[in-house]
Amino acid sequence: MSTPTTPIVEHYVGGKTYSGEGTETLPIENPATAQVIGELRLGTLADLDKVVEVATEAAAVWGDYSIAKRTAVLFAFRKLLVENTDALAQIISAEHGKTFDDAKGEIARGLEVVDFACSAPTLLKGEFSDQASTGIDVHSIRQPLGVVAGITPFNFPVMVPLWMCPTAIVAGNAFVLKPSEKVPSAGNFLADLWTQAGLPDGVFSVLHGGRDIVTGILDHPGISAVSFVGSTAVAKIIQERGTLAGKRVQALGGAKNHAIVMPDADMDMVADNLAAAAFGAAGERCMSISVAIAVGDAADRLVTKVVEAGKKVSVNVGIAPGADMGPVITKESKERIERLITTGEKDGAKVALDGRGYTVPGYEEGYFVGPTVLENVPLASAAYAEEIFGPVIEIIRVETLQEAIDLVNANPYGNGTAIFTKNGAAARTFQRKINVGMVGVNVPVPVPVAYHSFGGWKDSLFGDLHMYGPDGIRFYTRGKVITTRWPDEKGVATRASFNFEAR
């Protein structure tokens, strides 16, 4: 139960906090303590109308700002984000549970997209063809869409909004953020930084809510595009409903990322990397490694070393010095993860390291799950088929690289994958034949830098354009081609033709 002094997190509209009409609230929990640390006010469809009205007016003004002025706001925002990193990381750690250092890391990754968006003068440059036809020039420009929305998941309260809004905003749009109800405060903090940076009121808004607000966003005629990051089931709904309403949609979904380990790989290096990639952020990253496919005789050495690495992980409350990973997000999430480990065990897997029933002294009520290693999970088990989204790695044995590639390609998800090997030919075959959007060679979590776009294949992304980078610019702008003739004082020499003629 919350106390009467629990702070209320409200919406952010028109450059300030906005209470709106909603009376319903949800508790905000600290997953390390299971304590309620705030209340979230949920918006209504009337609040959504208000947000879109304010954003529409703001977009008309902001879209006419010079690129130089827009870029100046981005630089000011960047400076404020750096100065406020610790404060923002504390908010992330308290609501999400990840370690303070990892929270700072996610802000740094988001900052890279801000850096990228600061190149707007180059990114938004059009193209020009002189004398495309006799006396005729052609040029193409990219213009903003108007009001765009971002719907974000719990696992990156700052980084994922920053995958979207810097590019959307610098391109001249107004941006409406609908954060996850589980981690709502960081969105408001970002909104305040945008205002301090000199962004005109209404260009960045935050509207809190659940499924009804998401549906309202998808159906709203005043919103031109929707960027979504979350689970696959919801991503599919977003894509279908949003495109039906005539919107541009990019919807990034879940993952089950496999790493292939060749027998020639340096097993110490592999185990160290896999432990960080599987257990970091308690496995609640869409690019976490959840399955290691050991080829040939790699398996026994790999299991021993990953178990050793898993035992060394310091599981603690996120702000504890030296903590490697914190709790998972909710009680339901902890129960689900433990249930899936048990399912895997019942289906025939060996639990080589068991994180069930894990407690941290002083935080006995927290939603902790310890690092877990499952050996030989049957492919038919729900423990293999489902995205566990917890600190669990499954180690599977195959005989050849081809079998390993086939296994990855048979998986419905296609977000990230990696190979560990010293053999360049094996790595090249892997990178060419694997049906996955983001591929690492001896890099376990191959999240692209901000000037390359981020996105998976298959059930990990619905839509054509990936997020941030060059695809981000394309997504948040619309192309226009202008064909121009300026008759000189003699006028146009020939009579207009009724036919298509050679230019």
Helix, strand, coil % in the chain, rounded to nearest 5: 40, 25, 40
- Among candidate residues 52, 103, 286, 404, the one labeled active-site is 286
Which of 20, 144, 230, 366 contacts ligand NAD by CB under 6 A?
230
**CB-based contact 450:430 (threshold 8 Å):** no
Q: Identify which of 263, 266, 258 has the alpha carbon closest to the alpha carbon of residue 299.
A: 263
How far is 332 from 364, CA to CA, in rounded Å? 16
The reply to whether 367 sits near ligand NAD by the rule CB under 6 A is no
The DSSP 8-state label assigned to residue 294 in this structure reads E
CA distances from 68 to 15, 167, 172 (A): 22, 15, 12
Which of 290, 316, 460, 477 contacts ligand NAD by CB under 6 A?
460
The reply to whether 389 sits near ligand NAD by the rule CB under 6 A is yes
**CB-based contact 337:327 (threshold 8 Å):** no
The reply to whether 315 sits near ligand NAD by the rule CB under 6 A is no
Helix (H) or strand (E) holding 35: strand 35-41
Which of 9, 81, 214, 337 contacts ligand NAD by CB under 6 A?
214
The residues near 445 (Cβ < 8 Å, ≥ 6 apart) are 277, 285, 287, 288, 289, 416, 418
Q: Which of residues 70 and 96 has its CB atom nearest to ligand NAD in the complex?
A: 96
The reply to whether 254 sits near ligand NAD by the rule CB under 6 A is yes
Instruction: Write the binding mask 407 to 446 for ligand NAD: x where contact by CB under 6 A, - elsewhere.
Output: --------x-------------------------------
Q: How many residues bind ligand NAD (CB under 6 A)?
A: 28
**CB-based contact 369:358 (threshold 8 Å):** yes
When CB distances to ligand NAD are compared, the closest residue is 230
Which of 118, 151, 169, 465 contacts ligand NAD by CB under 6 A?
151
The reply to whether 24 sits near ligand NAD by the rule CB under 6 A is no
Q: How many CB atoms lie within 10 A of CB 259?
A: 29
Q: Which of residues 10 and 181 has its CB atom nearest to ligand NAD in the complex?
A: 181
The reply to whether 260 sits near ligand NAD by the rule CB under 6 A is no
**DSSP string of 7-19?**
PEE-EEETTEEE-
For residue 377, give both structure tokens.
């999970």
Q: Which of residues 211 and 350 has its CB atom nearest to ligand NAD in the complex?
A: 211
**CB-based contact 238:462 (threshold 8 Å):** yes
Which of the stretches 53-61, 68-76, 229-237, 362-370 binds ligand NAD when contact is defined by CB under 6 A? Answer: 229-237
Q: Which residues bind ligand NAD (CB under 6 A)?
A: 151-156, 160, 178, 180-181, 210-211, 214, 229-231, 234, 237, 252-255, 286, 387, 389, 415, 456, 460
Active-site positions read 286
